[in-house]
Amino acid sequence: MPLLIEHVCQSLAAVAPLRLAESWDNVGLLIGDRQRDCRRVMTCLTITPDVVAEATDQQVDLIVAHHPLPFKPMARLTTDSTASGMVLELAAHRIAVYSAHTAFDSARRGINQQLAEGLQLTDIAPLLPDPADTSETPDGSGRYGRVAATTLEQIMRRAADFLKLPKVRYVGDPDAAVTKVALACGSGGSFLDAARRKGCDCMLTGESNFHACLEAQSQGIGLILVGHYASERFAMEQLADHLMQEHDELTVWASRSESDPLRQFSL
């Protein structure tokens, strides 16, 4: 029996149940035919023209992208916009697209859980638990956990080492004592109040706006900003490995053309 796109969708839904997605999100199979054979899968953080070109060149059957495409309803499909043009190109090559997005953020083996483990936290729990989940390791938004007494600087070093980063941005005193850490992948400034309520000394996220940085400063909570791309891309690489282990018939890889669009200029 051939492996179908639907079978891979089922595997992905087992990793990140779609009921965990935020109400505003667009998740699941977004482009494609569930009944088509699936042999080649590529994961990525975001579908861009470079990713589309790689997928068509490599004759991919399914792209598993963290960020949905399409995200919002499209009134027309033309090449007048980048997003609709990519949808047209993917459809023309019969390349399916699946996204779990916020469901993968919140799942018990999702991005935030992986981040927490990468920072070597203990007693890990969701910042905002899923009220429908009463298991010992529940799903939920964000994560927080404990560390042996350390400093904000040392947590930054752990993050940089785990995510393979040359530097990170931060708010706070590098020498400030830390025993409890919160985190939220992507753009997680909205979790700052939840982190404060849990008694966290610092919070790690991908990016945050200026006002959230000021709020962290006024609350005495260290804020570590590792970049949106770095806070999530690593998990799409691990997801590629998981899918290949789950299905011997598949060839799976994380996009080789994708990169962080932000660059640093040294004066």
* DSSP state string for 120-168: T-EEEE-SEE-TT--SSS--EESEEEEEEEEEHHHHHHHHHHHHT-S--
- Per CATH, 5-101 and 108-230 having the same topology is answered yes
Average pLDDT for runs of 10 along the chain of length 267:
94 97 97 97 98 98 98 93 97 98 96 97 94 81 96 98 96 98 96 97 97 96 98 98 96 97 86
Task: Give domain limits for the chain.
Answer: 5-101, 108-230
Q: What pLDDT is attached to residue 264?
A: 82
Q: Which residues fall in the annotated binding site?
A: 66-67, 105, 228, 232
The answer to whether residues 61 and 267 touch, using CB atoms and an 8 Å cutoff, is no
Q: Give the right CATH number for 5-101 from 3.90.850.10, 3.40.50.720, 3.40.1390.30, 3.40.47.10.
A: 3.40.1390.30
pLDDT of residue 137: 76
Say what the pTM is: 0.95
At residue 185, the pLDDT reads 98
- Give the residue numbers of the binding site for a divalent metal cation: 66-67, 105, 228, 232
What Å distances lie between residue 155 and 137, 142, 168, 186, 238, CA to CA?
Answer: 24, 17, 11, 18, 22
pLDDT of residue 138: 82
Report how many helices (DSSP H) and strands (DSSP E) the chain contains, helices first. 9, 13
Structurally, what CATH architecture does the domain formed by 108-230 represent? 3-Layer(aba) Sandwich (3.40)
**Measured distance CA(161)–CA(171) in Å, rounded:** 19
